[in-house]
Structure 1
Amino acid sequence: MPVTETGDQNGHVPALQGIDFYTLAAVFRELDPEAQRIVLLGLNRGQADEFARIASGTDLLRHLPDPERERRIAGEIANREDMEEAARRFLEKQKRLLTSPDGMAALAQEFGADVLTSGQLDDIPEPEPIIDGYLDKGSLVRIFGPPKSLKSFIALSMACAVASGLRWFGFRTEPARVLYVVAEGVRGTRKRVRAWEQEHGRQTEVRFYPRAVQIGDPDQQRRLIAYARTYGFEFVIFDTQARCTVGVKENDNTEMGVIIAALDALKDVTGACVMLVHHSGTEGGRGRGATAWDGAVDAEFEVRRDEGSMRVALVTRFQKDVAEAVDLLLEGHQVGDSLVFRLRGDAAPVAVEVIVTGKQAMVLRAISEYGEVGVSVTGIATALGLGAAERGKCGTHVSALLKKELIKKITGSARYEITYAGRQQLDALSRAAVADRPGHVQDMIEEPE
């Protein structure tokens, strides 16, 4: 449908109102040139400056009338000159401080204020769980899965359980204020919340922000941090990462490093657990995009949905400094106009005997990290950091796991993947590791009435 220009009697196009500049930037380049020109003419000067900043595209200038284009170009040049001058002055100041004995001492004292002795390490507080064994305050977490894997339902169940202080599938929660950033599907969220409330017989205390917060935008991020700190939110969820990082190159480690730094600032200032809902990569087994996330998150969970059913598995992919959480097998049940998750079956989980040695468990866990892609014996040895003398034994452990049907060889390759029995074995190992931790419920007791 062709775009037509409308305006007042002087030919001016009225300024657009209530614009989401990040959504506009995402679709702008898909418009034809005439439509692009109409959009730009429909922005007032303040809106145009904001849009140009967000879109980060000097190619937008070619759509503007000559006088306006020249003004923008002059502004771009002035901004760059200001940045170069600021960088030059900063470097000069650093050089002066480092060549002055007093300046050197001041910098050393400033840095040394945060250096700890061995004894002072004991003063670092232990993590405070908000979902025992899964989520801690002051941590950065991701939950990922392919589209339609129902990962947002699981994130919402975490949010509602924590906000209400209810157990989450049998695991104790610490009541905390929860802020859920609904960057997509806010209408669907209402139905999901009503289903959870009907299932649990109470209204959730979660607070919902019904649009994306752009994590890479300093102004938006500062407002979010101020709100979360002022009102004491200790669990903040971004659903989804992609919608909250519009314009940021997902596969670029440098650009994603800036996003990670912004999220670190959020959790450092507020002490909150910060969680992102994200999509999985094409190879499976990891979140989509830059590898910078691999070392940045404190925990990462994968959602796997059985094709054509409401059954999902929540698989622990990674947790720092703690025993890996038990994988959960869940099933969606219709409640009202949406669904809620329950543990599969009404009976307690079947006890699984641990049948692997310590070394075999290490190899089994390493294989599980590669999901359906699988990994070779050499890859396993490399992942475990084994030396040349130990690499030969790795094949022996793989053979033992094959005989126990905990892994299988991928047809036509030299790679191995974990079986369902293997995942049950890892679950049994995890249960054994956390059995004595308070708050863990082995028999997955029902929620109190």
Structure 2
Amino acid sequence: MGDLVVVGLGYVGLPLVAEACRAGLSVTGLDVSRGVVDGLNAGRSHVDDLDDAEIGELLATGFTATDDATCVAEADAVVICVPTPLSAEGGPDLAAVEGACRGIGPHLRPGTLVVLESTTYPGTTAEVVRPLLEELSGLGADELHVAYSPERIDPGNATYGLKNTPKVVGADDPAAQEKARAFYSRVVDTVVVASGTREAESAKLLENTYRHVNIALVNEMARFFHELEIDFWEVVRLASTKPFGFQAFTPGPGVGGHCIPIDPNYLSHRVRTQLGYGFRFVELAQEINSSMPAYVVSRIASLLNDQEKAVRGSTVLLLGVTYKPDIADQRESPAVDVAKRLLQLGASVRYHDPHVASWDVAGTTSAGEDVLAAAADADLTVLLQQHSAYDLDAIEASARCLFDTRGRTTGESTHRL
């Protein structure tokens, strides 16, 4: 018998595979992508937090990847880690979750633990996943143990990974709760037990809504503080000296990644469809944060105007096109919207990113490897992401005009968000 099957081998599933293998569990990875399966079995990683050597180490423990769902028939636990993007209606698109359930359901045996880790609205595990699995497996409620555990993967975080980040686990019956707690206790340092699946689902949405709303707050404040000619970055620095009651958030060109631009909308959609009214904080935060790329472009136009240049025909260099520093992940990166808006205004857009070999935004061109030469050649250089590989002092010295959207530079000639 196998200990674990992880369904979905991306940024969430693969770190779980790694920690489970390191804990001595027998692990199989299940993914619908033949390319992902073949790549992993050949020792190639496709996520930032695991390199090829680490994939090789996993294979040496007996890990294997497959696209054959019959593997779950031998598993004690199955964890679903598939994407839940936004649907056209603004709620979570559960097609991948439902597809995973349909794939594994017919092969489940009595006593198997099934855990959903995909971020979604409260009620998904009890109202969608459990009924579907029971129908497809033919197992009764007392034969199938279903739980929910929100993923808390932070790509590129060198301090907190899956093992040392507390793991929230919720189930709606005592047997499933204990089985889920016991399973995760073999893999992570700390398990936090929720009273049910809805509470566990909601905890993840609260975490990311908290960040979403506070980022929107500082983004809006940065805009009017600029108009008031007050250095908002200094304001944040000063407020941060208070040892209680304040947590610093900083503005930026928008929000990106797999959580902040997406997850709070699940809760907003659930409130609106089930209760009949809006979640105004989330809707306002979404409006502010999604408007930041347009604001960045308006500031770019003003800075070029100060040089007696139009956006049309000017060369604008974008530094850092990933959604967070020092990783290659570009999901929901605001850099895409910034580039597209500049192209629509007729700018010549170049980009540089040490983690991105090619960028699929039609009309942009790579600045090559020499970032200092590219900055010296551009009419305006925009720091969108503060990768540690960037020598910001040297970039400041080389650029004709530098617009820093991350508040990481200190030069008097640099313009900050």
Short-chain TM bin: under 0.3
Greater relative contact order (Cα < 8 A, sep 6+): 1
TM-score, length basis structure 2: 0.26
Point out the structure with max Rg over C-alpha.
Answer: 1
TM-score, length basis structure 1: 0.25
